Amino acid sequence: MRRLGLATRSGADRPAYRRQVSTPSQPALPSDLEIDRSTALRPIEEVAAGTGLPRELVEPYGRDVAKISLAAREALADRPPAAVVVVTAITPTPLGEGKTTTAVGLAQGLARIGHRPVLTLRQPSMGPTFGIKGGAAGAGYSQVLPMERLNLHLTGDFHAVTAAHNLLAAMVDNHLHHGNALGIDPRNISWRRVLDVNDRSLRNVIVGLGARLDGVPRQAGFDITAASEVMVVLALATSLADLRARLGRLVVGYTYAGGPVTAEDLQCAGAMAVILKDALMPNLLQTVEHVPTLVHTGPFGNIATGNSSVVADQIGVRMGDLLLTEAGFGADMGLERFVNVKSRVSGIRPSAAVVVATVRALKAHSGRFRIAAGRPLPPELLAEDVDAVEAGMANLRAHLEIVRGFGLPAVVAINAFPTDHDSEHDAITKAALDLGARVAVGSYVANGGAGALELAREVAAAAAQPVDLRFSYDLDEPLTGKIEAVARRVYGAAGVDLAPEAAAALRRFEALGFGSLPVVVAKTHLSISSDPTLLGAPSGWRLPVREVRLAAGAGYVYAISGEMRTMPGLSTQPAATRIDLDADGQVVGLS
């Protein structure tokens, strides 16, 4: 086990915490959809006005959603920037541990104690909404509304990404059909098509079949839209001009001579920028308790940046006094990319990190229980078992070490479930305090902001501390050194094993002038290591890198460790089988 260099607060310094947990004997909560429909939303112009956004910069999409002009950054530039808090987590189970719900509940708790919080969140992908995961608007009385709009289309940004991405794919095949003047090697085309649907049958396809006029036959495939590099470009672009430039740098494949072929080479980047022009503006929604929420972009968390957009943060940081943003999966994934990639692009530095933990996830990290998405939890997991919680505590310690490695104060948010036991919360609280972190138990699903008051106080106190943010590596280090730094300093690996093809690709990318880019490691989210079966805080393992790819438009190089599915499949009983319209035309079954 790795030792943590964390200061320990004395018992006198430890904050009291209040337990605000519903019990199994309490009536069941209304469904998320029922809560959504029973909540009287404020007019979206009123929500915007409460943040100081000038009316002319707010473009309503119906009554409850609006687009925010990028000019809002300049309009609010004279305001002091808010402290930024990143909500991350321990290594999650396949069911997730409630980072979005925690972020929403925390924001509502902060508003109740006198702060002016603003949320920035990723937009959910419709593939998981109709698959196993369901919607991603939060839960219970800590969700973003209107949840139907949020989970289903919203303002069409995902469709714009899909259209822009597939236009480029069409231009690639059209270029091959009309003589291939650029000399593109059809066996070395990396630009696949995308669709915002879970469909395993499209992972590998043959295009161009039929008559001669139907195109050049070749092997291709589909990814889900959230895995598109265009989505990451939209998330990291700082302006329309930057968006246009990044689109031009997208690499679709390589020539027979080994040179990269870009969207600019295919004269497609301008048309893509036109499709994405409105999609670059963040979407404004509100929580159940009317906290303003900017929902924008949705890049994958395990193969991309896993964070909402730069422009949403740049606008949101001037709209209140605390900006809360969620980073995908655990601190080894989303938080690492927030710091090493997004912060460098946006110029925004976080002030603190919230690490979401649940009893069930810590028990899972003991290795004694098996949790599978789409299946009921094992009954023994719900029984009182402090020993199992403590056996899995190494994972919490490892994530707190990651947070501290970035120079950030940490607050552990215990996302309480009705099946938890007081003794289990006590064990987590003691461990967190002994490691120098702040901690609070929250019942924000059942109680909204009232269930996050203690967490709000702890986060506000943590965000007020001075911070000396530390990156994992310098940009002038070699690409190999950057991958090694993330593996060792963040994941706790003993080293990196590069496949010969991966090492050759890194040398080629540096020769092409991409050596100063940051890196992203595409790996499993179910372990701090690259092996999803290694629970807790593995040590002594080495990070295997089988392939390295260039994301020149997004602006990073990514190393692939393990098998990464970029097009999910549907389960035996996907959520789509339960979603329908009732006799009054109302959506039912969405969760």
Using the predicted structure, report yes or no on whether residue 111 has a pLDDT greater than 70.
yes
Using the predicted structure, report yes or no on whether residue 399 has a pLDDT greater than 60.
yes
For residue 184, the cross-strand partners are 255
Among the ranges 13-27, 92-106, 482-496, which has the highest mean pLDDT value?
Answer: 482-496
Place of tokens 């809560």: 35
What pLDDT does 26 receive? 56
Q: What's the half-sphere exposure (Cβ side, CA atoms, 13 Å) at 524?
A: 18
As a 3-state breakdown, the chain gives helix, strand, coil percent values, each rounded to 5, of 35, 20, 45
What pLDDT does 22 receive? 40
- Each residue's pLDDT tens digit, 334-348: 999 999 999 999 999
The amino acid at residue 253 is G
User: DSSP characters for 56-85?
Assistant: GGEEEETTTEEEE-TTHHHHTTTSPPPEEE
Phi-psi domain of 290 (left: phi exceeds 0; alpha: psi -120 through 50; beta: other): left
Mean pLDDT along residues 423-448? 97
What pLDDT does 8 receive? 29
Task: Specify whether the CB–CB gap between 389 and 424 falls below 8 A.
Answer: yes
What pLDDT does 132 receive? 75
Using the predicted structure, report yes or no on whether residue 77 has a pLDDT greater than 80.
yes
Task: Copy the structure tokens of residue 414.
Answer: 């215990």
The amino acid at residue 347 is G
**Could you tell me which of 161, 318, 227 has the C-alpha nearest to residue 568?**
227
* Beta-carbon contacts of residue 275 (< 8 Å; ≥ 6 apart): 160, 163, 164, 167
- Each residue's pLDDT tens digit, 228-255: 999 999 999 999 999 999 999 999 999 9
Q: What's the half-sphere exposure (Cβ side, CA atoms, 13 Å) at 1?
A: 15
Distance, CA of 272 to CA of 570 (rounded, Å)? 30
Cβ neighbourhood burial of 327 (10 Å; 0-12, 13-18, 19+): buried
Is the four-CA dihedral 213, 219, 225, 229 of positive or negative sign? negative
Mean pLDDT along residues 152-180? 97
Using the predicted structure, report yes or no on whether residue 294 has a pLDDT greater than 60.
yes
**Could you tell me which of 445, 447, 446, 439 has the C-alpha nearest to residue 355?**
439
- Each residue's pLDDT tens digit, 311-327: 999 999 999 999 999 99
Mean pLDDT along residues 202-228? 95
| Residue 572 DSSP SS3 | coil
Torsion of CA 418, 423, 429, 434, to 10 degrees: -160
Among the residue ranges 29-33, 208-212, 265-269, the one predicted with the least confidence is: 29-33
Mean pLDDT along residues 296-303? 91
| Residue 49 DSSP SS3 | helix
* pLDDT above 90 coverage of the chain, percent: 84
Using the predicted structure, report yes or no on whether residue 382 has a pLDDT greater than 60.
yes
For residue 205, the cross-strand partners are 220
Element (H, E) at 314: helix 310-316
Task: Specify whether the CB–CB gap between 457 and 113 falls below 8 A.
Answer: yes
Distance, CA of 125 to CA of 133 (rounded, Å)? 10
Task: Copy the structure tokens of residue 540.
Answer: 């002594």
Regarding predicted confidence, which is higher, 183 or 585? 183
Task: Specify whether the CB–CB gap between 120 and 318 falls below 8 A.
Answer: no
Mean pLDDT along residues 158-179? 98
Q: List helix spans (H) across 317-421.
A: 336-337, 343-346, 359-364, 386-391, 393-405
201-207, long-range: CB < 8 A, 24+ apart: 202/567, 203/565, 203/567, 207/173
Mean pLDDT along residues 407-434? 97
Using the predicted structure, report yes or no on whether residue 5 has a pLDDT greater than 70.
no
Regarding predicted confidence, which is higher, 12 or 310? 310
Using the predicted structure, report yes or no on whether residue 256 has a pLDDT greater than 60.
yes
Using the predicted structure, report yes or no on whether residue 513 has a pLDDT greater than 60.
yes
Q: Which domains does the chain have, with CATH numbers?
A: 13-154+282-463 (3.40.50.300), 157-278 (3.30.1510.10), 479-560 (3.10.410.10)
Mean pLDDT along residues 40-45? 96
| Residue 347 DSSP SS3 | coil
Task: Provide the pairing of β-strand 193-195 with 222-224.
Answer: parallel
Measure CA 530 to chain center: 18
**Could you tell me which of 272, 275, 270, 310 has the C-alpha nearest to residue 294?**
310
Place of tokens 């629970």: 535
Mean pLDDT along residues 431-460? 97
Using the predicted structure, report yes or no on whether residue 6 has a pLDDT greater than 80.
no
Kindly report the length of the chain: 591
What pLDDT does 27 receive? 65
Task: Specify whether the CB–CB gap between 304 and 227 falls below 8 A.
Answer: yes
Using the predicted structure, report yes or no on whether residue 7 has a pLDDT greater than 60.
no
Mean pLDDT along residues 381-393? 96
Q: Which residues of 7-40 are buried (b: 16+ CB within 10 A; e: fewer)?
A: eeeeeeebeebebbbbeeeeeeeeebbebbeebe
Is the four-CA dihedral 149, 155, 159, 161 of positive or negative sign? negative
Q: For residue 146, say if its preceding peptide bond is cis, omega within 30 degrees of 0.
A: yes
pTM attached to this predicted model: 0.92
What pLDDT does 2 receive? 32
Mean pLDDT along residues 538-561? 96
Task: Specify whether the CB–CB gap between 500 and 66 falls below 8 A.
Answer: no
What pLDDT does 562 receive? 83
What pLDDT does 571 receive? 83
Using the predicted structure, report yes or no on whether residue 12 has a pLDDT greater than 50.
no
- For 23, 293, 514, 559, the CA distances from 511, given in Å and listed in that order, are 61, 43, 7, 17
Cβ neighbourhood burial of 466 (10 Å; 0-12, 13-18, 19+): exposed
